[in-house]
Amino acid sequence: MKKSIIDRRLDSALDKEFNAIGRAMDAYVDYGNVTHSKLLSIYGDNELSTPLYTLHAQLLSMIDGISVMVKKGIADGIKPLLRSLFEAALYLEYMLKSSFEEVIAYQVHDVKNKIKTRRMFDFNDPLGKKTKRTFENEGKGINLGEYPIDESCKYLFAFLERDDVRKVNEDWNKRKPKNWYSLYSNLNNFRELAKHLKKETEYIIIYKFTSEFLHAGSMMDLVKVAGDKGGISLRSPEEVPLLSTLTFNLINEINLIIAKDEFVNWYLNTTKKQVERTSMLKIDVEFELF
């Protein structure tokens, strides 16, 4: 590590490795056209199938972002993207392996959350009155106007009353689950969902890497030590291979569920070599402290 904490240069060998990993991730994003078409062929353009397509798009978007971070060797930039990728991948996998009611449950949960949020800005609603008191007590001088929920949520209420949604909404009102995937299962939290999908190992690793970081609780990890000296670094390139391997594993499993043998053939001919190389890559970083 140089004197400046913003020295972002990578040596040529490391730059070459990271660019190769990033290009493999780019290939997965491009392959998303195939998996998207496969989903369309299975679920059609039914409006209620939308979460399958948006979650799939989220996977590709996160991998696209991770690719950029990998090429620059920015491990900390990968972590929030990987966490979002992990959650979207598990949600999509659970939907693909469950009844279509789970897909509707996801939408009912989303709509109810939106209604609750909008209630906060209807100052005739109990939640809105609480919001107004908060603004007034803190003297922020913020005037967001008033948005009666009868107007702001009319389309959301109409969605819940649709014939093809009403039963799931009624089930929701009876059980009032905390999470959408809990409505028709005994899965009480995200860790239980991960365990159900045999991804508790990934849960432990990814949440260990990301939770404290995302909540600014592990910023002391930015201190790097060399010999008897310590300093601050913006980069942790030694973490990139593991984070990249987790990324590859998640998208491989989703693609296998969607495209099956067609994906296997693509993988063997396109990314297998780089994925395996990444999983075995070990980076020893020597920090230069002054």
What does the domain layout of the chain look like in residue ranges? 1-98+197-290, 101-183
Give me the mean pLDDT over the 250-271 stretch. Answer: 98
Which tokens in the block code for residue 145?
């106007």
pLDDT value of residue 231? 61
| pLDDT computed for residue 1 by the predictor | 41
Which of 201, 168, 203 minimizes the C-alpha distance to 189?
Answer: 203
* Orientation of helix 50-72 relative to helix 240-259, angle to 10°: 150
What's the pLDDT at 150? 84
Predicted pLDDT at 257: 98
| Residue 214 pLDDT greater than 80, yes or no | no
Task: Answer yes or no: are the C-beta atoms of 73 and 237 closer than 8 Å.
Answer: yes
Q: How confident is the model at residue 225 (pLDDT cuts 50, 70, 90)?
A: low
Q: How confident is the model at residue 248 (pLDDT cuts 50, 70, 90)?
A: very high
Is residue 71 within 8 A of residue 205, CB to CB? The reply is no
> Distance (Å, rounded) from C-alpha 62 to C-alpha 57?
9
Query: Can you tell me the mean pLDDT for 138-147?
Result: 67
Tokens coding 259: 């495209």
CA distance 198 to 248: 16
The pLDDT assigned to 91 comes to 98
Alpha helices in the chain (DSSP H): 12-43, 50-72, 75-96, 100-119, 126-138, 149-152, 154-160, 166-175, 190-196, 200-214, 240-259, 261-270, 272-280
pLDDT at 226: 57
What separation, in Å, do the N-terminal and C-terminal C-alpha atoms of the chain show? 8
Q: How do residues 181-213 score in pLDDT, each as one tens digit?
A: 999 999 999 999 999 999 999 999 998 767 766
Nearby residues of 145 by Cβ (< 8 Å), 6 or more positions away: 121
- Tens of pLDDT, residue by residue over 74-95, are 988 999 999 999 999 999 999 9
- The pLDDT-based confidence of 175 (bands split at 50, 70, 90) is very high
C-alpha 187/C-alpha 174 separation (Å) is 17
Lowest mean pLDDT among 6-10, 46-50, 113-117: 6-10
How remote is the C-alpha of 260 from its chain's centroid? 23
Judged by average pLDDT, the poorest of 7-11, 113-117, 181-185, 281-285 is 7-11
Average pLDDT of the residues of the chain: 88
